[in-house]
Amino acid sequence: MKSARLFLFALAASHLAQASEVTLTLPPESGVYKAAPGVELAAANCLMCHSTEYVSSQPPMPRKFWEASVKKMKDKFGAPTPDAQMAALIDYLTTNYGVPEK
Ligand code: HEC
């Protein structure tokens, strides 16, 4: 009896040992906006409702798109971005997640 229990214990232990060797590779998710001038605006205004992926997963878009996005977040969803910070925030998004104006 004792040896059977010992065997089960050893079996369980070897399974645990195997399980601990499994490695998972997750896609990189930094959770922070790119460090660049204006990042503090994005951190203060664009992190309270959703992750940076909502921004970083967009294809590179022109300033008009970012302007419309920030306005939508503000007017429709209630992002607390002060009017005085809108232009700088839109500049930051266009520079770091978009394409510059032609
Ligand atoms: C008050 C909450 C809130 C804040 C603050 C907020 N968002 Fe959003 N955002 C949302 C919601 C809700 C959605 C999903 C909308 C949908 O599913 O259509 C979203 C979606 C998005 C999308 C995906 C495209 C889209 O229009 O649905 C982008 C890009 C985006 N947000 C950018 C931003 C940026 C940039 C900021 C900072 C200015 C920001 N968000 C701040 C609530 C917010």
**Residue 6's pLDDT is what?**
72
What's the rounded Cα separation, in Å, for the pair 46 and 30? Answer: 15
pLDDT of residue 37 exceeding 90, the answer is yes
* pLDDT tens figures, 38-82: 999 999 999 999 999 999 999 999 999 999 999 999 999 999 999
62: Cβ below 6 Å to ligand 1?
A: no
Share of the chain above pLDDT 90, in %: 67
Alpha-carbon separation of residue 64 from 25, 38, 68 (angstroms):
36, 18, 6
Average pLDDT over the chain reads: 87
Q: Measure CA 3 to chain center.
A: 52
50, 51, 55: residue to mutate for ligand 1 pocket, most atoms within 8 A of CB: 50
Determine contact, residues 8/21, Cβ cutoff 8 Å.
no
48: Cβ below 6 Å to ligand 1?
A: yes
> What would the two tokens of residue 6 be?
């010992």
34, 39, 69: residue to mutate for ligand 1 pocket, most atoms within 8 A of CB: 69
